[in-house]
Structure 1
């Protein structure tokens, strides 16, 4: 058959399909665009010999393996970087420094609180010494030379004429000037003080008269414990139970603690009992000079006590009359008094171990001679002895505006007291 012959069914290519360039490059590009990459690759693979095809497949598998290795290495590197960032020494050092800083801040706050209490005690002692020095210079019968008392003097009960013989005795031996009872609380306090003072004057041991150094706090939690407590604790706990508005444990423990120390000093006015009083509970000049109701001596605000004593029995107008009537005074006071204890209520007390109770049983320093299985937490004692932690609410100052400035007011407390 000649070259001009055409097979049956075959079509002759057109001129456009048979355009041939000299270098052949442009024709290949047009074919790729016309038929697509996949078709071109298939034709390329189809042209390979079996050896070339096997080699290509091996190269593809190796490329996939390399790609997987690179991906795995990249993931492992990123994981290592994350672990390093979360566990490196610099980050851990930062956390440790932050914790140490917070611990130092808490310690500084505690030190400042203790220093505040100490400075108050020192200032009150210095002021009393100065006052005593002036009195001694005015007294023509005062002793010319004064001996410095030793430790034994602090522990020895003063004699009947000790306050007159020892000028320094005025630090603790000057009694407050109370008037006759103005309310049932006055009657109870004055009668109890009179009975205890008679026992003291009769020479009864101090432990029997004034009891241990701390009140029985178990009776605040379990009323049945009150029967075993010392009479001083028992009477004050009974008094506290008549004020249901003082219902939260921190306030109840603090009020009992303060009243206990005041009554203990009023029964036996020794140096030791006087110095155990917080500086802000020691009687001021007005309490020593002006007759006033006994209940005023137990208010934990010295400026308030001073104003109430100085204005008692006067003709001052406004709320002066009602603020001296205990029946009018105690409701706004007891419903808003706060200790601002920042921890749990139960943290105010600690459980005494059996060995501690056995060790303190019968000793003067033990709480109720070992009968009390609960004691005041030393941290809470430090807190309550810091006068900055005591406050009253806005309802109190609304009832007695003339007492503004004599106590710290918590204006967030609008109504009856509740722990928030």
Structure 2
């Protein structure tokens, strides 16, 4: 008889893969810098052509953050979530157990945390999106590396069926956002001045009528392929044994990295204008399709580049500093929201719409450095972050050891 699910236990710290934790920690920097444009109010102000303090070099830095990090950091985390799903399913199947019951509990627990985050702190949350995509991914986790990429069109179709009944609500939400001036004014009124209870009510309205529908129509189709790619990377061994796949990783850096950089730095209007000037229609289609897929493809260039860097001793030693942050990424992601809403919202310091872009990006970098430092301190005393403990407690259905019985030795290192 197979063992019961309460026998399941999380990976011990020494069994974790350093490269996954490093990637997860670095992705949090991109997520923070991108999200700051929403927390601060600059994104809606710029969209509405309203005045916003830019600071020294703010326009250039904001443009670079948007081009190089927007959607890419969230996509990198999506790859790691997809890999995590594949690892968990593989581990359970190796023990002769069915992965679906446990995986459903794990995804359900993440969805609960995401819902609480969305309504109580910030409705730009990505956890709920990841939970929904994970649910779609569960039936295809058994597919091998050679065929799993072919499940992307099937999962896109499933996403379309999920979105179709909400087409009217999605259209209404898009129309509201397109009216950027009144929407910006409404956001500034509530986020910049409202009490916590008034903001709670507005956030719930915005979640149901604006952010929720837009997230379904925009985020799910974009992030879903990266979940599959994360599972593919794991099954092919790119994550677990990158030293055996250096040639393939170098090709990814050259193709996806360089092509992705070009696609993200060259304005869309310029590419469309050039394509339209071509007389041969297949070339026009090819250029536009390449541009469309190359933009998010930069994420693969980032992932492959970091995996290659980790093969060099000096770079590995420098990058491993981000591993503890990656081990408690859920806690630190939620903490980013908590700190930022206190800084920018009316029930905190009320700096919504007032902090220059260059200032808040510098502040975000400092906050990230503090998160790296605090993660080291925390994991010297505890096995995991508090949010990770809650997630695992809900997922495994049994007590989880939280405190370390003794401080970890200074030489303890994550498995390469």
Report the TM range for the smaller structure's normalisation.
under 0.3
Task: Return the structure number with greater helix share.
Answer: 2
TM-score by length of 2: 0.22
TM-score by length of 1: 0.21
